[in-house]
Amino acid sequence: MFTVEEISLMKMYSGLQPNHHALISSLKNVMPQFTDEEQEMKDLTGGVIRKLTAMNDKTFSGINFSIALDEEVPEE
């Protein structure tokens, strides 16, 4: 249903305890901040918003956020 990139995006904007409706709101709020050069991110975010809006809370609770790409901490 979601790609690893989509799950990573959702994890980035969902905080520690993902909430279906709060996540949709957060993603909608970030959309206007994307520049023309960030069209790929804007498209990805728009697709995630559409998918999240189409699902119910029970389906959302089944999303496995552990497959998200975690940022690597640079070594010093």
The pLDDT assigned to 33 comes to: 95
Cα-only R_g, the chain:
13
Residue pLDDT, tens place only, 20-69: 999 999 999 999 999 999 999 999 999 999 999 999 999 999 998 888 87
The pLDDT assigned to 50 comes to: 98
The pLDDT assigned to 58 comes to: 96
- Closest by CA position to 70, among listed 1, 3, 7, 2: 7
Q: How far is CA 54 from CA 1, 15, 39, in A?
A: 12, 21, 23
Residue ranges of domains in the chain: 4-67
50: left (phi > 0), else alpha (psi -120 to 50), else beta? Answer: alpha
Is residue 74 predicted with pLDDT exceeding 50?
A: no
